[in-house]
Amino acid sequence: MTDIERRAVIKTALAVGAAAAIPSAASAADKPLAGKSVLITGASSGFGYLGALHYARLGAKVIASMRGLPRKEADELKAEATKEKLDIHIIEIDVTSDEQVAKGVAEAEKIAGGPLDILINNAGVGYAGPIELQDMAATKLIFDTNVYGPHRMARAVLPGMRKAKRGLIFNISSQLGRVIVPSAGHYSPTKFALEAMSEAMAYELVPHNVEVCVIQPGGYPTKVWVNRNQLASELKSRLTEDQAAAYLALVNSMGKEDGTRRSADPMDVPRAIAEIAAMPAGTRPLRRAVHPGMKPQEAINKVSAETQLAMLGNSPFGPWVKAVHD
């Protein structure tokens, strides 16, 4: 039986196997990620920091990576892990550095004792302001972090995952990876690119039994807004008078969004990731919108899946597309 056929029959076999699995499922309910190794990028704050603790509490061996070690956030995470006796290891990875990604993933695989089970591409940055005003320094940084960073990380972990014939990659996108709000700089362009890259990888990795899942959060009160304000303020200081005058209202608002208007619980995202990670291979969704409020991307996700199936379902790529969307 081929890997594609095996993935297809998993779904129909679940109902039959559920009854027999009840005792073991009950015993594993408290630790659904036991035995799993999880590598997270951008674990110094927000979804990454909260997720590192959450996945470890669910039994995973967590390798939490962040830039610029040593730093107080790493010390705080380590102290919490020690207090709760959690299996969390902290390593340095700057996703914009080829060298650090290669070195960091090698270290993570050594800690895990082999190929990683799960990669969570969480590191990301945001900017504000009109597209015209995004200079090349801002443009290169956001694409290097939000698009090339996940690509570097995936390329580094995939040889091991392919060899093991298993693996799961989460890419943290956004509502703004499907819908567009003016004056968010290249945030939407980078997240649209991440969405496309993730879906292409999901198809291509079907024969290797490696899955890709895109998480699409709405707005949450995390440190991303503080970082965004800093970057937007730096960009604002580089504008010419003519540039600033051309988009006066939008420029005046740059660097002033602090996230305090957003009251949703950031733990929504780690909980969603853990839920999906605990699902049997072959049953996980390609995309998951996460927010207690509006989820405008869900309608687009539905139409996109239907269009992909209609266009490629009967093509040579049909089995891959159906394995991802069915």
Residues that are catalytic: 44, 173, 187, 191
**Four-point Cα dihedral 307, 303, 318, 286, nearest 10:** 150
Report the C-alpha gap between 194 and 80 in whole angstroms: 32
Q: Which pair of tokens denotes residue 5? A: 């056929």
Cβ neighbours of residue 9 under 8 Å, at least 6 residues apart? 1
Cα–Cα separations (whole angstroms), residue 89 to 24, 65, 75, 76, 195: 28, 8, 11, 13, 29
Pairing verdict, β 88-92 and 61-66: parallel
Report the C-alpha gap between 61 and 190 in whole angstroms: 30
CA angle in degrees (0–180, nearest 5) for 224-227-231:
135
Q: Which pair of tokens denotes residue 21? A: 């699995």
Report the C-alpha gap between 16 and 24 in whole angstroms: 15
Contact between 177 and 194 (Cβ < 8 Å)? yes
Q: Which pair of tokens denotes residue 168? A: 């799961």
